Amino acid sequence: MKIAIACDHGGLNLKNEIIKYLETHGHTYVDFGTKSTDSCDYPDFALPAAEAVANGVCERGIVVCSTGIGVSIVANKVPGVRCAHCHDTYCAEFTRLHNNSNVLALGEKVVGAGYALKIVETFLNTEFEGGRHQRRVDKITEIEKKFGK
């Protein structure tokens, strides 16, 4: 699977751990940065990663900052992106099963690297159930259209 990945300075260490995971598990990725711990603005990195998912360049995305909140807000501004800010594997599983989320947001200062990798694994290995859940995802798409997003 091809993954868009991005972070700001507060998520760099976790992003690098996730990249190692992706490489050892046969995934390809596009790294949208940052590559430094110098202070930077998370929208500059989360936005192009989210756009890559929305445009079909990447199948899924992972965005990281200190809390995961800022990057999730940015990613969810992109039409076609359903970004889930997850702190545990249960939410990662069910956001895929029920919401067909295509971007995962994580907080480096909130979730330890070991558990974050379990969350990533769950997010990447869980498929959308479809069925009654598709109707709900379709309603989200209609909301995006209504507000011109």
Active site residues: 65, 98
H or E stretch including 3? strand 2-7
Q: Which two tokens stand for residue 100?
A: 């067909």
- The H or E element that residue 103 is part of is strand 103-107
**CA dihedral sign, ordered 133, 137, 138, 143:** positive
In the block, tokens 């972070």 appear at 7
